[in-house]
């Protein structure tokens, strides 16, 4: 089930909540069962790490002590739980002048290629009436040739 450090942290928080005697608190004989349910709810699909989470759990219970007028739920605890502190970030890498120049040259080349492609993709202008007529006549010739070829194929099959 839960790790021992995690159980101790939740038990310590529970002791504080029980001491406050908040409205909606479980009766004294049900505190242990309530604690068990909290442990199940807080460990369901979660991984806890003592180094990252112990202080967060303690701080969350301290916040609940100060703000709750009624007995809190595990969902309230999770809502109030602060996010984990991120590990320190890596320092920004330093680049030499040569790396900067070669990187800028590469970027200039990419931009140049992209500009060339954009220019090559010109929008065609609408066809003139003469061009449309030529296309229509050409399509008619091709259709006539296909019909002749089909007719010859049928005659050969008979």
User: In this structure, what DSSP letter does residue 70 have?
Assistant: B
Mean pLDDT of 18-29: 92
Confidence of residue 55 (pLDDT cuts 50, 70, 90): very high
Nearest CA among 14, 74, 8 for reference residue 46: 74
Q: What is the mean pLDDT of residues 91-110?
A: 88
Residues near 67 by beta carbon (within 8 Å), at least 6 away in sequence: none
The rounded distance, in Å, linking the Cα atoms of 108 and 32 is 69
Q: What 3-state DSSP class applies to 137?
A: helix
75-81 mean pLDDT: 95
């Amino acid at each position: 089930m839960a790790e021992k450090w995690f159980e101790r942290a939740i038990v310590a928080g529970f002791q504080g909540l029980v001491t406050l005697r908040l409205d909606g608190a479980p009766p004294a004989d049900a505190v242990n069962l309530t604690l068990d349910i909290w442990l199940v709810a807080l460990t369901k699909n979660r991984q806890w790490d003592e180094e990252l989470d112990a202080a967060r759990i303690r701080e969350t219970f301290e916040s609940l002590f100060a703000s709750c007028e009624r007995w809190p739920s595990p969902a309230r605890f999770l809502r109030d739980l602060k996010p984990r502190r991120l590990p320190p970030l890596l320092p920004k890498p330093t680049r030499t002048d040569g790396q900067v120049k070669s990187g800028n040259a590469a970027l200039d080349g990419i931009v140049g290629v992209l500009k060339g492609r954009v220019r090559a993709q010109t929008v065609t202008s609408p066809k003139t009436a003469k061009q449309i007529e030529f296309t229509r006549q050409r399509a008619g010739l091709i259709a006539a040739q296909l019909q002749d070829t089909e007719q010859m194929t049928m005659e050969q099959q008979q």
